[in-house]
Amino acid sequence: DSIDIAINQAAENYYQQAQKLSASRQQAAQQLIKQVMSRLAELNLENAHFSIHLTQDNKPDQYGIDKVVFMFAPNPGMGEKPLHKIASGGELSRISLAIQVAGVRQKTEATLIFDEVDSGVGGATAEVVGRLLKTLSQYNQVICVTHLAQVAAFADNHIKISKNVKHNETFTQFTTLTNTARIDELARMSGGLQLDKKTREHAQNMRQNAVQFTHTLTAGRTR
């Protein structure tokens, strides 16, 4: 009857569009893999391997006919497994950052939270993390929990979280740092238990470099 005909036509149209979507995903997956692998090398995961497995299943839904699985191998010789089953917390955060930066195209209202995305890294790699987070923040609101000055230096707003004990009770305090207090905190985060002219100058240079990078990003977007 007419209902069966309509259902069959709708199903046929669905599968035609789903096949087109699947083909587009195959192409996009290869591009994303290349971009993510490039970012992982910057993030001190140069020996890791990332791939995307696309398989068609028999349970079509509003997202199409593909089952998408991100695969990951942290070291050479290790077989790939689904990302969420094999990556450590720090690896997962950095891979997520790499994927987000690779996929960002336009400004959104999303808020992205990264908890110690810099775990296990330092030095130049930590600065790369900071740069990537800053890049991502041009399109989304980014909240990052970090213990590294190289990352904190790139923030638009630096909030210090500390715990204080008073009358046998523990309180968590949030302090927004500005100007001199921020430079002092960056110096402390760099490992300077005793703040002096040298540690403050180092912190000031980190902050100035971060500001300059931000200006470069902003200029690039307005061209």
CATH number of the domain enclosing 7: 1.20.1050.90
Among 82, 103, 124, the domain-final residue is 103
- Are 114 and 94 in the same domain? no
Strand 111-115 vs strand 81-82: parallel, antiparallel, or unpaired? unpaired
Q: Are residues 182 and 135 in the same domain?
A: yes
CATH number assigned to the domain comprising residue 156: 3.40.50.300
Q: 213 with 154: CB under 8 angstroms?
A: yes
Contact 140, 110 (CB under 8 A): yes
Tell me: the pLDDT tens digits for 180-207? 999 999 999 998 777 889 999 999 999 9
Question: Are 161 and 194 in a shared domain?
Answer: yes
Domain termination site, one of 80, 103, 126: 103
Query: Looking at residue 9, what is its pLDDT?
Result: 95
Kindly indicate the confidence band of residue 223, based on its pLDDT and cuts at 50, 70 and 90: low
| 193 and 208 inside one domain | yes
**Helix, strand, coil shares, percent, the chain, to 5:** 50, 25, 25
- Give pLDDT, residue 206: 96
What per-residue confidence (pLDDT) applies to 4? 93
Query: Residue 221: pLDDT above 90?
Result: no
- Regarding whether 143 and 97 lie in a shared domain, the answer is no
Rounded CA gap, 112 and 133, in Å? 10
Share above pLDDT 90 across residues of the chain, in percent, rounded to a whole number: 67
Q: Do 80 and 63 share a structural domain?
A: yes
Tokens for 76, please give them. Answer: 């050479």
Domain hosting 99: range is 1-103
Of the candidates 154, 106, 103, which has an alpha carbon nearest to the alpha carbon of residue 128?
A: 154
Q: Which pLDDT score is estimated for 108? A: 84
pLDDT exceeds cutoff 90 at 89: no
Q: What is the pLDDT of residues 34-55, one digit of tens each?
A: 999 999 988 888 999 999 999 9
**Count of other CB atoms within 10 angstroms of residue 187:** 23
Domain final position from 64, 81, 103: 103
Two tokens, residue 27: 């192409």
What tokens appear for 211 in the block?
Answer: 């500001």
Q: How many domains does the chain contain in total?
A: 2
Confidence of residue 120 (pLDDT cuts 50, 70, 90): confident
Regarding whether 213 and 151 lie in a shared domain, the answer is yes
Helical axes 179-189 vs 197-222, angle rounded to 10°: 110
Quick one: 92 and 158 in the same domain? no
Strands 158-166 and 64-73 come out as unpaired
pLDDT class for 116, splitting at 50, 70, 90? confident
Instruction: Pick the more confident residue, 121 or 188.
Output: 188
